[in-house]
Structure 1
Amino acid sequence: MESREPIDCWQELGLPFPPERLRGRLVPCPQCSAPLALMRRRRFYALCATVEETSQGAVLICRQCGARQPVRELLLSGRRARTS
Structure 2
Amino acid sequence: MYFQLCRNRGKTHAETSINHFSKEIPHTLVHLDLGVEFRAGALKCEHREILSYADCMAIAVTLQLNATFHTTENDLPPLARLRVKKYSFE
TM-score normalised over the length of structure 2:
0.30
- Higher helix share goes to which structure? 2
TM-score normalised over the length of structure 1:
0.31
- Higher strand share goes to which structure? 1
